[in-house]
């Protein structure tokens, strides 16, 4: 259990001491200035976030609740499945001021020696856990949490990949990569996993070269995968001409959720005078418009966004990421229209209906690359991360 791991790592954690409350993102809104509905929403979100975080932290070292085929891929915090949970957990740590959670994150990072998996240095999925390391570095002012990441990213910049973003049909196999295009960010998920790390590294080191690379690659992917007619992202080029059984274009809920959740994390970290900041905000607004149009009457975003009938059941990973993005947009006055506020509230209500009394997040589509069926008992780390992100913003809800 996570508390045992904290005790083992106490001597390492002491190097990373930080008073969480000094760095907290909790709202400064006076409770007396909130309406009763706002207070109720905030209190409910805090309760949900605490339960969800507690359930997952108490299920870190046994995976009998997952299909056996996912046990290995879910077992390491170096890999994206757990990393997405830890990204949500860092936001929840900032929100809840729970020092036990902070200590757990410190212990896991130190246990990893603040490293990413060097077997796939260019793979965006393996950069995701570094968001946690750099979050710790910003709090502690220590340089160890980012030294290994900086070394890997320096190597990437020195020999930048020149491959196409097209998911090409080829017999060429690169160990660990499904397709040669994954040497770059040729699939939508990658925009959640890696770009923010490049920005964090620039913010910590003061060296603009890191985010210059990340910013350029981010917009190359957006230009390639974002459909301006639907204001939605294709998961990768395989889906450009693909249709569902009902003849609709294939836009994956979680694939879009990855991008939509990444945008607030990037925008918040960008200096106001950064030349790309307005572009990120405009993309966020356009994407919000496309996503709001696909929300079901029950409040979920269906696994197949343009064909809700294809998989007619709740899905919480895409819904969690999208709800987080909408709530952030409302809280920060980026989205000011009534539709956006209603969609965020409906999304949050739908999420809470999918969470068991003990905090387990249900109805999470399993690992994949496209819309698929979901069972009520399906759960996964990244689905929990999505709910924690949403809970963090809903705990600051302001109409």
Domains and CATH numbers, the chain: 2-12+57-394 (1.50.10.10)
Residue with tokens 């979680």: 254
What local confidence, expressed as pLDDT, does residue 31 receive? 55
What local confidence, expressed as pLDDT, does residue 19 receive? 30
Contact 196, 263 (CB under 8 A): no
Contact 117, 128 (CB under 8 A): no
Distance between CA atoms of 50 and 85, rounded to whole angstroms? 14
What local confidence, expressed as pLDDT, does residue 97 receive? 94
Summarised one tens digit per residue, pLDDT across range 289-330 is: 999 999 999 999 999 999 999 999 999 999 999 999 999 999
Adjacent-strand bridge partners of 249 = 243
Adjacent-strand bridge partners of 339 = none
What local confidence, expressed as pLDDT, does residue 36 receive? 77
Adjacent-strand bridge partners of 232 = 227
The pairing of strands 226-227 and 232-233 is antiparallel
Give the chain's residues under pLDDT 50: 1-24, 26-28
Residue with tokens 């905030």: 42
Strand ranges (E), 60-169 = none
Distance between CA atoms of 376 and 314, rounded to whole angstroms? 8
What local confidence, expressed as pLDDT, does residue 25 receive? 59
For 212-239, b where at least 16 C-beta lie within 10 A, e where not — what string?
ebbbebbbebbebbbeeebbbbbbbbbb
Residue with tokens 């060097």: 118
- Which residues, 6 or more positions from 307, have their beta carbon under 8 angstroms from its beta carbon? 244, 245, 246, 248, 250, 371
Q: Sign of dihedral through CA atoms 9, 15, 17, 23? A: negative
Phi, psi of 388 (to 5 degrees): -65, -40
Report how far apart, in Å, the C-alpha atoms of 173 and of each of 181, 183, 314, 361, 367 are. 11, 12, 36, 36, 21
Exactly one of 98, 125, 126, 189 is catalytic; which is it? Answer: 189
Summarised one tens digit per residue, pLDDT across range 340-350 is: 999 999 999 99
Residue with tokens 């896991």: 108
Contact 126, 176 (CB under 8 A): no
Is 227 a catalytic site residue? no
Read off the tokens for 355.
Answer: 């969470």
């Amino acid at each position: 259990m996570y508390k045992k791991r904290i005790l083992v790592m106490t001597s390492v954690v002491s190097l990373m001491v930080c008073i969480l409350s000094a760095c907290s993102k909790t709202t400064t809104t006076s409770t007396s200035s909130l309406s009763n509905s706002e207070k109720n929403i905030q209190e409910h979100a805090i309760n949900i976030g605490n339960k969800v975080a507690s359930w997952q932290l108490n299920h870190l070292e046994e995976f009998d609740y997952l299909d056996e085929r996912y046990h290995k891929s879910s077992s390491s915090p170096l890999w994206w499945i757990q990393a997405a949970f830890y990204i949500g957990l860092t936001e929840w740590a900032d929100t809840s001021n729970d020092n036990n959670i902070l200590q757990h994150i410190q212990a896991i990072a130190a246990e990893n020696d603040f490293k990413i998996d060097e077997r796939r240095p260019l793979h965006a999925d393996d950069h995701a856990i570094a968001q946690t390391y750099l979050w710790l570095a910003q709090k502690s002012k220590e340089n160890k949490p980012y030294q290994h990441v900086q070394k890997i990213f320096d190597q990437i910049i020195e020999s930048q990949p020149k491959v196409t973003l097209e998911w090409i049909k080829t017999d060429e196999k690169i160990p660990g990569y499904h397709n040669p295009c994954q040497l770059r960010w040729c699939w939508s998920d990658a925009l959640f996993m890696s770009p923010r790390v490049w920005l964090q590294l620039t913010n910590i080191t003061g060296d603009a070269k890191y985010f210059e690379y990340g910013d350029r690659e981010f917009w190359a992917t957006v230009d390639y995968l974002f459909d301006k007619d639907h204001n939605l992202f294709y998961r990768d080029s395989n889906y450009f001409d693909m249709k569902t059984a009902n003849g609709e274009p294939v836009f994956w809920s979680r694939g879009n959720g990855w991008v939509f959740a990444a945008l607030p994390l990037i925008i918040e970290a960008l200096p106001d005078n950064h030349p790309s900041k307005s572009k990120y905000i405009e993309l966020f607004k356009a994407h919000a418009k496309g996503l709001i149009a696909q929300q079901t009457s029950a409040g979920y975003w269906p696994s197949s966004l343009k064909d809700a009938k294809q998989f007619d059941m709740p899905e919480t990973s895409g819904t969690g990421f999208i709800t987080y993005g909408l709530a952030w947009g409302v809280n920060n006055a980026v989205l000011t229209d009534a539709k956006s506020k209603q969609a965020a509230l409906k999304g949050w209500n739908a999420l809470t209906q999918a969470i068991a009394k003990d905090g387990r997040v249900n109805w999470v589509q399993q690992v994949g690359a496209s819309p698929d069926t979901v069972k009520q008992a399906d759960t996964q780390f990244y689905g929990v991360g999505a709910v924690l992100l949403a809970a963090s913003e809903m705990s600051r809800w302001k109409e």
